[in-house]
Amino acid sequence: MKILAIETSCDETAIAIVEATGDEKRAQFSVLGNALLSQIEVHKEYGGVFPAVAKREHAKNLMPLLRAALEEAELLKEDTQSVPQETHDAVAKLLEREPGLDEAFLEFISENEPADVDAIAVTAGPGLEPALWVGINFAKALALAWDKPLVAVNHMEGHVLSALVTEKDGVLTITDVRLPALALLISGGHTELVLMKEWLTYALVGQTRDDAVGEAYDKVARMMGLPYPGGPEISKLAESLRSVEVGPSQVGGSSASGEVFNLPRPMLHDDTCDFSFSGLKTAVLYLLKNRSELTDDEKAQLAYAFENAVAEVLWKKTARALEQTEAKTLVIGGGVSANTNIRRVFTEKIAEERPDVSLRIPSAALTTDNAIMIALAGFYRALRKEIANPETLTANGNRSLK
């Protein structure tokens, strides 16, 4: 099955074409085409992602990315054909709120044959609704113009599945996942522990009561005068210190040794698997209020203390959830799982304390938002014949895993 997948939930516009074979027990995926444009440079100016700006950028990027992905997959075939009036009108209506995209799209379908793909998968949520809508309307227009089935994908399922992939000689395989699997999903909009008890069936185990961890990273970075997105910036600072002065990260105790700044570990000792990060962010705010400009060394110290607090809370809550759920597999997914310290702490802690659990962390390319992960989820949903109705499919910013 060839799947063309579209991702526009936040600040990455991405289209991938993936050929999938196999079944739910063992599936293999070859990436035929993969095109992605990050909007980071555009959003940097504003210090965060503005939904209206993201929407405009997605509308601008989708057509060039579609061409690039099809070309890479050798599926772009020129063919001047007249578009039936009915299709023309329906497409124009679907894309009327995305200025420019409608004309470019109509021109494209009148110059090219429908691509040889079996389904169109699209992120339907969670994410920023104005951004999601661009991808959804675009996917609906493609499904209509090419007469292909449409599959709605949960973005978080994409993150879970991309962590379960093993890669060899360019082929991605998902197999032998020991269930139940616990997923720690950490991104700009999410911080949650989700249990996959049976394949592709989810239950919420814990979640943040306020800020997402990526949001805390981004806000603290902003307070420190670092550019958006803050996660990689804070990580760089903290790592610079770890490598020269204080050694590897510490987890344990209320504050790790070698820390100049003491930051709280919110909700560490309560008996839920829920998180809270707003207190940590506020602690940094107060700390900065009472000081003049931080020196470079102090910035690194603060980043280090912040990362230690985050990693400790994430690990302790995850360890609690592993115990409660008796999970055999632990998955980490979402943009924040790119973090060097979090990856290291989880790898060490699993080896030391829970060697019975298999830890699955996505490869770097699959960690941040991309369309390959949407294709993976689209494949399983298509196998289950979960075909979306274009008439009723809507963007849902809070779409949850079920």
Contact residues: ligand KG4, CB under 6 A: 10, 187-189, 214, 217-218, 229-232, 235, 334-336, 338-339, 368-369
Least gap, CB of 9 to Zn ion (angstroms):
7
What number of chain residues touch Zn ion (CB under 5 A)? 2
Q: Which residues contact 95 (CB under 8 A, 6 or more apart)?
A: 101, 102, 105, 137, 138, 141
Q: Which residues contact 292 (CB under 8 A, 6 or more apart)?
A: none
Report the first-to-last Cα separation within the chain, whole angstroms.
24
CB closer to ligand KG4 out of 76 and 156: 156
Find the part of the chain contacting Zn ion (CB under 5 A) among 96-104, 166-174, 265-273, 366-374: 366-374
Report the alpha-carbon angle 60-146-35, nearest 5.
Answer: 40
306-325 burial: b if 16+ Cβ within 10 Å, else e = bbbbbbbbbbbbbbbbbebb
- Binding of Zn ion by 112 (CB under 5 A): no
CB closer to ligand KG4 out of 112 and 370: 370
CB closer to ligand KG4 out of 219 and 265: 219
Is the bond into 227 cis (omega within 30 degrees of 0)?
no
Q: What is the largest CA-CA distance in the chain?
A: 70
Residue 195: which of 210, 209, 179 has the closest Cα?
179
Q: Which does 189 bind (CB under 5 to 8 A by kind): Zn ion, ligand KG4, none?
A: ligand KG4
Least gap, CB of 335 to Zn ion (angstroms):
5
Q: Residue 35 corresponds to which tokens in the numbers above?
A: 């095109």
376-385 burial: b if 16+ Cβ within 10 Å, else e = bbbbbbbeee
- Binding of Zn ion by 308 (CB under 5 A): no
- Binding of Zn ion by 13 (CB under 5 A): no
Q: Which residues contact 169 (CB under 8 A, 6 or more apart)?
A: none
CB closer to ligand KG4 out of 216 and 246: 216
Find the part of the chain contacting Zn ion (CB under 5 A) among 38-46, 62-70, 179-187, 305-313: 179-187
Q: Which does 158 bind (CB under 5 to 8 A by kind): Zn ion, ligand KG4, none?
A: none
Q: Which does 98 bind (CB under 5 to 8 A by kind): Zn ion, ligand KG4, none?
A: none
- Binding of Zn ion by 187 (CB under 5 A): yes
Least gap, CB of 1 to ligand KG4 (angstroms):
26
Q: Which residues contact 155 (CB under 8 A, 6 or more apart)?
A: 7, 9, 123, 125, 126, 127, 369, 374, 399
CB closer to ligand KG4 out of 118 and 129: 129
CB closer to Zn ion out of 105 and 380: 380
Q: Which does 235 bind (CB under 5 to 8 A by kind): Zn ion, ligand KG4, none?
A: ligand KG4
The answer to whether 313 and 267 have CB atoms below 8 angstroms apart is: yes
CB closer to ligand KG4 out of 43 and 148: 43
Residues lying near Zn ion in the complex (CB under 5 A) are found at: 187, 369
